[in-house]
Structure 1
Amino acid sequence: MEHIYTAERAISPATGTVRWVVVDARTYDLQHEAVAYLASLRSRGCSPNTERAYAGRLALYLNYCRMHRLRWAVPGFTGLTSLQQWLIETPLPSRTAHPGPDPARYRSRPTANAVMTVVGEFLRHGAAHGLVPAATTALLTQPKLLRFTPPGYDTGESGRLHQIQAAAFRFKSTETGYQDLSPEQIRRMIALTPRARDRFLIALMACTGLRIGEALGLHRADMHLLTSSRTAGCGTQGPHVHVHRRTDNPNRALAKSRFSRYVPVTADLVALYTDYQYERDQEPQAADSPMVFVNLFRPPFGQAMSYSNTKETFDRLAAAVEHACRPHMLRHSAATRWLRDGVDRDVVQRLLGHASPLSMESYRHVDDAEARAAVEHVASLRERP
């Protein structure tokens, strides 16, 4: 298929602000409806990573409509059903440039579901602005009876909320869950990282459970690492970091939580921050930046570290340690460790910045040692007279 629409990064020549847009690759004209929808994501405070991913999925949908001669605003039931199947049956482009056949790769069902979710939101956004008829949005959901409800779900008076409106175009798939890292794996990651900045970033996320957007959005004024921070106007005792939701960070890093919080840190983390400060002082252009994490090893020197730069750092690290290591795995590891060590769930919820206790359900894993201990405990009870 010839790709006409493509997701592109647009940089404002006046402010340097980075945005994602969908353009016609032949003329570089903007696809205005898609661009308006992406702008709505920014107005809701979505992260640049979300905007980039949604731009690519919108371009994919628009190309599908063009290839099948469908109007994007009126794809019809058949068009949406065919799109759902097309997503998992169409081979993905080869990742390598060398000649010769490569094993065919296909989208997974969860990936297809993610694309269909974006398509549904895009069509609803168009309907809200009079571009998509109500008959189209009516196709996107269907009634579903909940046989089993998640913990804490309120079914209402007489159970009337057992029936909900569920996505109509969605594959059934098994949730793989989050991956966590063992303390030994995290220590090895830190040991194999040659740069003090990156060692501190890994240790910070593993120690505090911060999201990557929260870490990249930290300001130097947020680092209260003395025994007492009263001189900075803070009454919290002991070393800690403050997490604030800011919308004006130069790297567009966002804290997902809308509520400010502080997270205590250890003496070992303070020592790693000191090492990083010494490394940072070697780059004169970093002196005036208020951000904690800045570019030290490639231009633009001294400017706030970006999401893409961080991803490249973790990709290099994954190759060195020979296992997957993504930023969110460190957050998940911190939460799993706290729960496994018996930390109260309310405390863990506050440390992670979750508004709802239901968000904690995915963090508790049963490891091999716990499972074996449970079985051996039952066996020992049976052996007693």
Structure 2
Amino acid sequence: MESVYRAERAVSPASGAVRWVVVESRTYALHLEATGYLASLRARGCSPNTERVYAGRLALYLNYCRTQRLDWSRPGFTGLSLLQQWLVETPLPPRTDRLAVQPVRCRSQQTANAVMTVVGEFLRFGAARGQVPPETVELLAQPKLLRFAPPGYDVGERGQFRQVRAAAFRFKTVQPGFEDLSPSQIRSMIASRPRARDRFLIALLACTGLRIGEALGLHREDLHLLASSRLAGCGIEGPHVHVRRRPGNPNRALAKSRFPRTVPVTAELVALYTDYQYERDRVPQALAEPMVFVNLFRSMRGRPMAYANTKEMFDRLARTVGHACRPHMLRHAAATRWLREGVDRDVVQRLLGHVSPLSMEVYRTVDDTELRAAVEHVALLQGQR
């Protein structure tokens, strides 16, 4: 499919602010409706990474409509249905330009659902501004009866709230679950890294359960690692980390939660930070940088560490240790460890920075050891009887 529209990163010459827009490939003319929707995400305080991903999905939708000769504001039921199938059946371009034969890749149903969600939000945004007819929005949802209500959902005394509106264009996918990391795997990950910065980053995520955006957005003033921080104007006792949302970080790292929180840390993590400080102090360009995680070993030394650098580091780590390693797996491992050790769910929710208690449902996983212990415990009771 020829890409008529594409997502572009725009930088303001006056303020240096980064924006994402959708442009026509040849003339670089803005697609005003799509760019307006992206501006609304920015106004709502969404992450720049969310804006970037949504821009790419909007360009994909507009290119599909252009190829199929559809009016993007009036795709119709058939057009949206064919888009849903087209997303999972159309091969993706090769990852590189190498001549080696590569397997054919297609989007997963989960990815197609994510694209359809963005398309639906975009059309609803346009309908609220008179750019999309109401009959288009009516196609996006259909009635659904909740046979099994989610935890915390009130169906009403007579079940009158079981009838809801659900997305009409959405694949029924199997819940993939969360990949976990054992304590021994985490220790192996830390030990395999030759650089103190990387060891500290891995240990920080595993100890605190921070999101990667929260970790990369930390400033040095956020680390209170002494027994008492009263001299710094902080009354919280013991070593801890402050997590704050700062939209102006130069690496565009952004904490997801708008509510600040503090997370206690261990003495072992403080020791790893000391090693990292010694390593960092040997790079003159990093001395005045307020961000905690900075580039030390390549070009742009002293500049804040970005998402791309972090992904590259975790990809190398996965090849070294021989299993999947992603930052969010360390967050999941921390939450699972706390719950498994009997920490109150409200405390874990506060540590993770979740606003809703429903967000905690995904973290409590049961491992093989617990399953075997349960079966053997019941067998022992039966034998005693």
Distance 1:11 1:150, change over 3 A: same
What residue number does 1:277 align with? 277
What residue number does 2:215 align with? 215
What residue number does 2:30 align with? 30
Long gaps (5+) in structure 1: none
- Alignment of 1:201 with 2:221, yes or no, is no
Distance 1:97 1:299, change over 3 A: closer
What residue number does 1:3 align with? 3
Give the counterpart letter for 1:324 in structure 2: A
- Alignment of 1:367 with 2:367, yes or no, is yes
- Alignment of 1:312 with 2:316, yes or no, is no
**Bigger CA drift: 45-54 or 170-179?**
45-54
Give the counterpart letter for 1:270 in structure 2: V
Deviation at 1:13, TM superposition (A): 3.6
Distance 1:18 1:337, change over 3 A: same
- Alignment of 1:175 with 2:207, yes or no, is no
Long gaps (5+) in structure 2: none
Distance 1:99 1:301, change over 3 A: closer
Distance 1:334 1:18, change over 3 A: same
Deviation at 1:381, TM superposition (A): 2.1
Tell me the distance in 1 between the aligned counterparts of 2:96 and 2:302.
34
Deviation at 1:100, TM superposition (A): 6.7
Tell me the distance in 1 between the aligned counterparts of 2:64 and 2:359.
35
Give the counterpart letter for 2:86 in structure 1: W
Deviation at 1:192, TM superposition (A): 1.4
Alignment coverage as a number of residue pairs: 385
Tell me the distance in 1 between the aligned counterparts of 2:239 and 2:64.
53
- Which residues in structure 2 correspond to 1:250-289 (within 5 Å)? 250-289=250-289
Post-superposition Cα deviations, 1:180-220, rounded to whole Å, max 9, x if no partner, equal 21111111111111221111111101000011111111111
Deviation at 1:250, TM superposition (A): 1.8
**What secondary structure, in the 3-state scheme, does the structure 2 residue paired with 1:10 have?**
strand
Tell me the distance in 1 between the aligned counterparts of 2:129 and 2:317.
45
Q: Compute the TM-score of the two structures, normalised by the length of structure 1.
A: 0.96
What residue number does 1:125 align with? 125
What residue number does 1:329 align with? 329
Tell me the distance in 2 between the aligned counterparts of 1:279 and 1:141.
55
**Bigger CA drift: 313-322 or 208-217?**
313-322
Tell me the distance in 2 between the aligned counterparts of 1:231 and 1:48.
35
Post-superposition Cα deviations, 1:221-256, rounded to whole Å, max 9, x if no partner, equal 111100001101111110001111222222222111
Tell me the distance in 2 between the aligned counterparts of 1:300 and 1:39.
30
What residue number does 1:82 align with? 82
- Alignment of 1:292 with 2:303, yes or no, is no
**What secondary structure, in the 3-state scheme, does the structure 2 residue paired with 1:19 have?**
strand
Distance 1:13 1:169, change over 3 A: same
What residue number does 2:184 align with? 184
- Alignment of 1:141 with 2:154, yes or no, is no
What residue number does 2:351 align with? 351
Say what the alpha-carbon RMSD is for the aligned residues. 1.5
Give the counterpart letter for 1:252 in structure 2: R
Deviation at 1:149, TM superposition (A): 0.6
Tell me the distance in 2 between the aligned counterparts of 1:60 and 1:341.
46
Tell me the distance in 2 between the aligned counterparts of 1:315 and 1:11.
29
Deviation at 1:168, TM superposition (A): 0.7
Post-superposition Cα deviations, 1:240-276, rounded to whole Å, max 9, x if no partner, equal 0111122222222211112111100000100111111
What residue number does 1:162 align with? 162
Q: Percent same amino acid among aligned pairs?
A: 74
What residue number does 2:105 align with? 105
Tell me the distance in 2 between the aligned counterparts of 1:16 and 1:282.
30
**What secondary structure, in the 3-state scheme, does the structure 2 residue paired with 1:258 have?**
coil
Give the counterpart letter for 2:327 in structure 1: P
- Which residues in structure 2 correspond to 1:14-29 (within 5 Å)? 14-29=14-29
Tell me the distance in 2 between the aligned counterparts of 1:210 and 1:14.
34
Tell me the distance in 1 between the aligned counterparts of 2:129 and 2:299.
42
Distance 1:19 1:296, change over 3 A: farther
Distance 1:232 1:4, change over 3 A: same
Tell me the distance in 1 between the aligned counterparts of 2:295 and 2:18.
17
Tell me the distance in 1 between the aligned counterparts of 2:48 and 2:186.
27
- Alignment of 1:46 with 2:54, yes or no, is no
Post-superposition Cα deviations, 1:60-96, rounded to whole Å, max 9, x if no partner, equal 1111101100011111111001101111111222224
